[in-house]
Structure 1
C-alpha cells in the first residue's frame, strides 16, 4: 500500500493476531470450538473441502482451515470493510482463498459467491446479530449453496434460559476473569476498534464500518439476540437440512451441526 507516494508496510499477521486475542478475552475456549468444527469437517466431508467462511471477519476460520487442510479452498464473505481489509491483506499471497463483500440480509447475497456449491459452510460468533426472521431466511439460503451431503456449522452464543442460577454463577465467574485479564492489559472490543480507527491504513475502512454498524464505543448495535441451541436445530431442520444437532457446548455458547 502507498501513502503520499511512500510504501506503507502493513503487518497483517499482527492485525489478525490482535483480533484473535481480543476475541479470546470474551471467548477463552475459542480455539477449542474451532478444533471441534474442523474435526466435523474432516469427518463428514474429508480433508480437501471447498468451504464458505460465512461472516468471515478477518478470516480466523479460514486461517485455521488452511493450516489444518493444505488442499482445502475457501471463500470468505462479510459486509465489514475493515475486517475484510485485514483478511485480504493477510491472505494476499494465498490463492486457496478469496473474499467477497456482501450483506447476508440481502436476498441476492449468494450471487456474489464465486462457486455455486460448497462442501461446508462455517461461521462463528456472528449470526446472533441477525433477527429471528432474518436468520431463518439465511438458513434456507445456506442449504441452497451446499451440495448434497454438505454440512453447516454455527458456533455462537446459545443461552439456556431454563438454568438461571447456573447462568448467574457462570456469568459472574467470567466477569471476574475478564476483570483480571483487563488489569493485566487485555484489549476489549471497543479498544480494538479505536486502535483500528487510528491506524493510517485501516482508518478509512473503519470509518465506513462505523457508518454501517455504528460506533463500537457507544454500545452494541446488534438487531438480533442469541437463540438457544434447540431453536437453531429446529430452524435448520425447517430450512431443509436432513439432520441437525448440538455438537459442542460451553455454559454460555454452543455449536450446531447440520447435514444436507
Structure 2
C-alpha cells in the first residue's frame, strides 16, 4: 500500500504538534537557526546544508524554503519519520538514512564538497559524550572555513540552582502557550504504528537498529568545551529560553 500525501501531511502535522511539548518555542527556535544559516551562507550561491537528526524534516524544509538555491540534506535513522517527510515535503530535500556517529555514517552523506552549515535540533543530546566529541570533530572537518554548526537543544547551565530556575521559566512559558495540551511522544507513536497505511514503514522501522534514547546530560559549557576541542574557533549561544538554547559554533 502506497503512502498518500494526505496521510503523510496528517502524521507530520501531528508530529509537529507533539514536539511542541518538548521544545520551548519550537518554531521560533527553527526561525533563529534559519536566520543564523542564512547570515553565515550569505554570498555563497548554492550552500550545502545538513540537518542532523531531522525526523520528518520540518527544519530542513524551512531551510530549503528560506534558501531555495541551497542543497539540503535531511539525515536521520528512522525510516518511518523519513518516509513521512519524503511524502510530505518532497524534492527540495535529499533524505539520507544513517545512524549519526556510527562507522560509515559520513560515507552515507555522499558529500562532493565541504558543508557550509550543519544544523540539528533536539537530537545530539542522544549521543554519548565520546560519540558526540567524535561527531563534533568530524563536522569540523567537513565544514568549510567559516562554516557553521547550529544546534538547538536542551542544554542546562552548570549551576544546579540556575538550571532549576531556567527549567521553571521554560515550563511556565510552555504552559502559557498550552504546549502540554498536545499529545505526547508515546501517544503519537502508538497511534502512528496502528495506522495500516503506515504498515510498511512500521515494519521497516522494526528491522532497523535505531539509536539509543538515553541522553548524555552534558551542560552548555561542556558542549562549548567539546566544540572548541573539536576545532571550532568561535562558540556560544545566540538564543535561549529556559534551558532551550541555540548554540552556534563557527569553523
Question: What's the TM-score once normalised by structure 2's chain length?
Answer: 0.87
Superposition pairs of residues 79-158 of structure 1, within 5 angstroms: 79-92=77-90, 94=91, 96-116=92-112, 117-158=114-155
Offset at residue 233 of structure 1 (A): 1.2
Which structure has more relative contact order (CA 8 Å, sep 6+)? It is 2
CA distance in 2, matches of 1:227, 1:166: 12
TM-score, normalised relative to structure 1:
0.84
Residue 49 in structure 1 maps to residue 44 in structure 2: no
Aligned to 1:34: 30
Q: Does 1:234 align with 2:232?
A: no
Give the structure 1 partner of residue 175 of structure 2. 177
For residues 50-105 of structure 1, what are the alpha-carbon distances to aligned partners after superposition, in whole Å with 9 as ceiling and x for unaligned? Answer: 2101111110111111222222221111111111111111233x2x3211111113
Deviation at 1:181, TM superposition (A): 5.5
Matched-pair contact (CA < 8 Å) for 2:34–2:63: yes
- Check if 1:257 corresponds to 2:248: yes
* Inter-CA distance 258–10: structure 2 relative to 1 (3 Å threshold): same
Partner of 1:225 in structure 2? Answer: 216
User: 1:165–1:128: structure 2 CA closer, same or farther, 3 Å change rule?
Assistant: closer
CA distance 1:223–1:113, change in 2 (3 Å): same
CA distance in 1: counterparts of 2:66 and 2:5, whole angstroms? 28
Shift of residue 172, structure 1, vs aligned partner? 8.4
Alpha-carbon offset, residue 46 of structure 1: 1.8
Cα deviation, residue 24, structure 1: 0.9
Contact 1:56–1:76 (8 Å) recurs in 2: yes
> Which whole-Å CA distance do the structure 2 matches of 1:208 and 1:223 have between them?
22
Give the gaps of 5 or more residues in structure 2: none
Q: Secondary structure, in 3 states, of the residue corresponding to 1:201?
A: helix
Cα contact 1:167–1:251 (8 A) shared by 2: no
* CA shift in 2, pair 1:177/1:143, >3 Å: same
Does the CA contact (< 8 Å) of 2:170 and 2:242 recur in 1? no
Flag structure 1 segments of 5+ consecutive residues without an equivalent: 215-220
- CA RMSD for the aligned pairs? 2.7
CA distance in 2, matches of 1:165, 1:76: 34
Aligned CA distance change for structure 1 residues 247 and 210 (closer, same or farther; 3 Å)? farther
